[in-house]
Amino acid sequence: MIVPLTSRAIPNTFGSRAFADATRMKNKLLVAAVVSATIAIVASLLVGVRVWPNLAVAATVLRWLAIALIAAYATSRRSLTAWILVGLLAGAELGHDAPAVAAKLQVLGTIFLRLIRVIIAPLLFAVLVVGIAGHPDLKKVGRLGIKSLVYFEAVSTIAMLFGLAAINLSRAGESVHLPPSSTATAQTLNVSPHSAVQIITDIFPENIAKSVAEGQVLQIVVFSILFAFALGLVPVARRRPMLEFAESLSATMFKFTNMVMYAAPIGVFGVVAYTVGQMGLTVLLPLLKLLATMYIALVLFILCVLVPILILARIPLRNFVRVAAEPVTLGFATASSEATLPIAMEKMEAFGVPRQIVAFVLPTGYSFNMDGASLYQSLGLIFVAQAAGIHLSFGQQAIMVLTLLLSSKGTAGVARASFLIVFAAATSFHLPMEPLFLLFAIDQLMDMGRTAVTVLGNCVACVVIARWEGELPSFASAKSESAA
């Protein structure tokens, strides 16, 4: 019997073969990039210790070859994170090899900063209005809503204090030495502290347009919160159009942020090249210290805050860890808390938390209970101040933490939201911009850790609040074992 040759009779191997070929090409590029980078590092070290000084030109060529191969790998991956790494490496290399050329590239970073700055006011206004006025269910859930919000604010504040303590102990930013122009700007910030009455008065805006123009983030946040509460008191028929406008503005600003982030590799390249050209490669060393500081602080926060909360709530630790491991691991790998929401909800229900509590606590927590992000924000903002050579009193740091607490709500789903919040606060306090680019250069590595802790913190909140409500059954441990 002769079988006619149709599309169904012929196996579709072309697509799978092309995919396999592309994967092999990516792997080859990665191996080539790693090998060339290793050889370049060894050659640079030999030149640096004067074992083989004649290798200077060859070492430079090898470093640029390694960067080119990493760029080729980033192109095959189509990854913004990889391209930011390319921008960081290429900027550092150009600043080291040609400081005079690198000095002219600061304009790239300045343009990128302006694009970020224009996002802040409409984004904060939109997300806060939608987050407050768009949650009429908070009135219905009553006691659950109050308990959840109190818990969220308490734990987020503790997380910020952990970040504050960590950066004040490690002082990672003090190793950064800014160019003379930035130092001169920093000197103008050493003004006498305001009185308590003036600090409280300055929280409230007298003209919202003036607050936006001057970058007064706290005033924008206070206006947005009051506006959202007022909108919540308006009848539904009249509230709906304004709420739809805020939702549309929020969605638009999310897309706008994504567009701006595509320019991040160019901005990072320009400012890192300028900074390294002015200060040398030693400017990158404090970033490793900052990274270590944050991860140590995150581990201590888990051990000293989240674990004791679970113990006090009589949650079986082993079973909880078994259930929460998957969403936390996914959050670390993807650096996206939103991607973990479906699996986190499924696991918490399997643990025995009632669906109505899961459906309220987890989505709300992703806007109001960002523990990892809160720790990073206080740590990052003080790092910027330290890098600028500014000594902050306890009162000034408290005002900064208050600004971060208010301005960070409702930013779940925004690309690089935590960095944007730190940027907004730094702008509000007139801190120099150069340290922010150093912070942004390693943001992806920091984002992985802070996202994992944020996901873990919301899973903890879910089971603890269920226990407070008396709705976590005693057989939760058995359910968790079956879910695992």
* CA–CA dist 302, 10 (Å, integer): 55
269 plus 171 within the same structural domain: yes
Residue 315 domain-assigned (yes or no): yes
CA distance readout (Å), 367 to 118, 378, 408, 430, 447: 22, 17, 8, 27, 16
How many Cβ atoms sit within 10 Å of the Cβ of residue 161? 17
DSSP string, 376-440: HHHHHHHHHHHHTT----HHHHHHHHHHHHHHTTT-TTSTTHHHHHHHHHHHHTT--SHHHHHHH
- In terms of residue numbers, what domain contains 28? 17-78
Listed residue (447, 453, 442) closest to 334, CA to CA:
447
Residue 101 domain-assigned (yes or no): no
111 plus 74 within the same structural domain: no
Supply the pLDDT for residue 457: 93
Residue with structure tokens 């226990």?
Answer: 467
* CA–CA dist 81, 100 (Å, integer): 28
- Residues whose CB is less than 8 angstroms from the CB of residue 439 and which lie 6 or more positions away in sequence, other chains included: 290, 380, 383, 384, 419, 422
CATH of residue 342: 1.10.3860.10
Supply the pLDDT for residue 481: 44
269 plus 354 within the same structural domain: yes
Residue 3 domain-assigned (yes or no): no
309 plus 419 within the same structural domain: yes
68 plus 183 within the same structural domain: no
Token pair for 3: 């079988």
Domain boundary among 63, 78, 93: 78
How many Cβ atoms sit within 10 Å of the Cβ of residue 243? 19
Residue with structure tokens 């503790």?
Answer: 158
Evaluated on CA atoms 332, 88, 260, 126, the torsion sign reads positive
49 plus 183 within the same structural domain: no
Residue 354 domain-assigned (yes or no): yes
167 plus 26 within the same structural domain: no
Residue 377 near residue 421, CB atoms below 8 Å = yes
413 plus 476 within the same structural domain: yes
Q: How many domains does the chain have?
A: 2
Evaluated on CA atoms 22, 24, 26, 32, the torsion sign reads negative
> Chain-centre distance of CA 394, in angstroms?
25
Supply the pLDDT for residue 308: 94
Residue 214 domain-assigned (yes or no): yes
Residue 85 domain-assigned (yes or no): no
Token pair for 365: 């927590």
Provide the terminal-to-terminal Cα distance of the chain, rounded to the nearest Å. Answer: 51
Residue 80 near residue 262, CB atoms below 8 Å = yes
pLDDT in tens, the chain (484 residues): 454 544 444 455 555 666 566 667 667 777 777 776 677 666 666 655 565 556 677 777 888 888 888 888 878 777 777 787 788 888 888 888 888 888 888 788 778 778 877 887 887 788 778 767 775 554 544 566 678 888 888 998 999 999 999 999 988 888 776 655 544 444 444 333 445 566 567 778 888 888 888 767 668 878 887 888 888 888 888 888 998 998 898 888 878 877 887 887 888 788 778 877 776 766 677 888 888 999 999 999 999 999 999 999 888 888 899 888 888 887 886 677 766 777 888 888 888 888 777 777 777 777 678 888 889 999 999 998 888 888 887 878 888 888 787 776 655 555 567 888 888 888 878 888 778 877 877 777 888 888 899 999 999 999 998 888 777 776 444 444 444 4
* CA–CA dist 376, 373 (Å, integer): 5
Residue 378 domain-assigned (yes or no): yes
Domain boundary among 61, 78, 95: 78
- Residues whose CB is less than 8 angstroms from the CB of residue 331 and which lie 6 or more positions away in sequence, other chains included: 337, 339, 340, 451, 452, 454, 455
- Residues whose CB is less than 8 angstroms from the CB of residue 194 and which lie 6 or more positions away in sequence, other chains included: 202
* CA–CA dist 62, 39 (Å, integer): 7
Supply the pLDDT for residue 392: 80
* CA–CA dist 162, 250 (Å, integer): 31
Supply the pLDDT for residue 301: 95
Residue 384 near residue 171, CB atoms below 8 Å = no
* CA–CA dist 160, 354 (Å, integer): 30
Q: Tabulate helix, strand, coil % of the chain (nearest 5).
A: 80, 0, 20
125 plus 262 within the same structural domain: yes
447 plus 335 within the same structural domain: yes
Supply the pLDDT for residue 142: 54
Q: 179 in helix, strand or coil? A: coil
471 plus 387 within the same structural domain: yes
Residue 281 domain-assigned (yes or no): yes
72 plus 114 within the same structural domain: no
